Amino acid sequence: MLNPADIALAKTQSGQRLSDSDAYALTHLAASDTDALCEAASGLRDRVHGSTLTYSPKVFLPVTNLCRDRCTYCTFRKDPGEAGEWTMSPDEIREWSERGRRLGCIEALMCLGDKPEIAFRGFRGLLASYGAESTADYVRIACEISLDAGLLPHTNAGLLSGPEMKALRPVNASLGLMLENVGPRMRAKGMPHQYAPDKDPAARMEMIDEAGRLAIPFTSGILVGIGENEAERIASLLALRRSHERFGHIQEVIVQNFRAKPDTAMAGAEDFGEDQMVRTVAMARLILGEQMNLQAPPNLNPDAHRRLIRAGINDWGGISPLTMDYVNPEAPWPHIEALRETCVAEGFTLEPRLPIYREFINEEFVDPAMLPRLERFQSDLDGAVAV
């Protein structure tokens, strides 16, 4: 007799949507079932995404590394006056954007700490000197500069309110916020988000849903290996699926693995193992379905590219020829040509994409101010790929 996990796997092979209990049943699969899991996941991916894998050529703009949160694994955040504290000036945003454009980047990733103006009074003065009323307002100005320099912004500025997202929509191709984990346990005493109020999962889900109400193409994902268990990972994927099924706005889901960084409280914690990562990616594909764009960061998994392809990803996320990964400075981006060779060896082509997936480039999901620009970028890219 088949057990519930085998029944769930069989369902995915016949194209059926997994129920919540099917999804949890996958956790009963043994480690020795990972190949079967990957086979089902890659089969599902192939049905819609065929033999194309994508990446987004980007310039990473760390608009400010001030942050009011204190996640115990983070080396990105700084306090005012601490060595390495940095808020990019408008001139720096322009200069980096222009250099990125010259190097063939399309995306300007605006990545920054959460709500620094609430925690640090002095930062408000700096924002005012740049003509901004808040951090989100400064990001809007930065997006305008990057747009003017010929890039397409994608903003991940932490928790944003509805009005803040509304103001950013006309100057962004898409917005993003990692859910990380939907379970409240990560905020408990001694856990990585104890001192990170903006990592409250209910608030993050509310923002993700609100982005849906505002018809904003949205990137989210889960952070794995920070002390959560497999059932909590499944619950997080189901929460993202629920939001997407309600609003249709989640354009991609990232499975991002924890990597321990020196000089942090979690420096001694074990990295998320490769087998676990592969298993989680495959489960994400089975739960999120064939249409979803599923991404795993290649720089955080330098030895697992082939296995991640076999686990059902169809995208590698942003890769920069210019700037490092400021959130994971120890993990260099792969060379595009080396990544392309790996993709080809697995039977796939590797193609650049915009920071908005083509299925979202329409009047429903894009502000009229941005639509012609995005259509032009997509058609230029299609022309370049066809040549």
| Residue ranges in contact with ligand SF4 by CB under 6 A | 67, 69-71, 74, 76-77, 113-114, 158, 196, 198
Shortest distance (Å) from residue 223 CB to ligand SF4: 9
DSSP string, 363-379: TTTS-TTTHHHHHHHHH
Residues with Cβ within 8 Å of residue 282, at least 6 apart in sequence: 34, 37, 38, 40, 41, 311, 312
Residue 64 or residue 301: which is nearer to ligand SF4 going by CB? 64
Residue 70 or residue 340: which is nearer to ligand SF4 going by CB? 70
Residue 81 or residue 368: which is nearer to ligand SF4 going by CB? 81
- Residue 354 — φ and ψ, nearest 5°? -80, 165
CA distances from 328 to 65, 78, 318, 386 (A): 13, 14, 13, 34
Instruction: Give the CA count within 13 Å in the CB-facing half-sphere of 371.
Output: 10
Residue 34 or residue 256: which is nearer to ligand SF4 going by CB? 256
Return the axis-axis angle of helices 230-247 and 201-213, rounded to nearest 10°. Answer: 20
Question: Secondary structure of 65-116 in the HEC alphabet?
Answer: CECCCECCCCCCCECCCCCCCCECCHHHHHHHHHHHHHCCCCEEEEECCCCH
Shortest distance (Å) from residue 70 CB to ligand SF4: 6
Residue 107 or residue 198: which is nearer to ligand SF4 going by CB? 198
Residue with tokens 């020795």: 32
Shortest distance (Å) from residue 165 CB to ligand SF4: 18
Shortest distance (Å) from residue 118 CB to ligand SF4: 12
Shortest distance (Å) from residue 12 CB to ligand SF4: 33
Residue 27 or residue 134: which is nearer to ligand SF4 going by CB? 134
Q: How far apart (Å, rounded) are the C-alpha atoms in residues 232 and 222?
A: 10
Shortest distance (Å) from residue 261 CB to ligand SF4: 11
Residue 111 or residue 370: which is nearer to ligand SF4 going by CB? 111
Shortest distance (Å) from residue 158 CB to ligand SF4: 6
Q: Is 14 left (phi over 0), alpha (psi -120 to 50) or beta?
A: alpha
Residue 122: strand, helix, or coil: helix
Q: How far apart (Å, rounded) are the C-alpha atoms in residues 262 and 352?
A: 33
Shortest distance (Å) from residue 280 CB to ligand SF4: 20
Residue 78 or residue 310: which is nearer to ligand SF4 going by CB? 78
Token pair recorded at residue 201? 């999962």
Nearest to 3 by CA among 13, 21, 20: 21
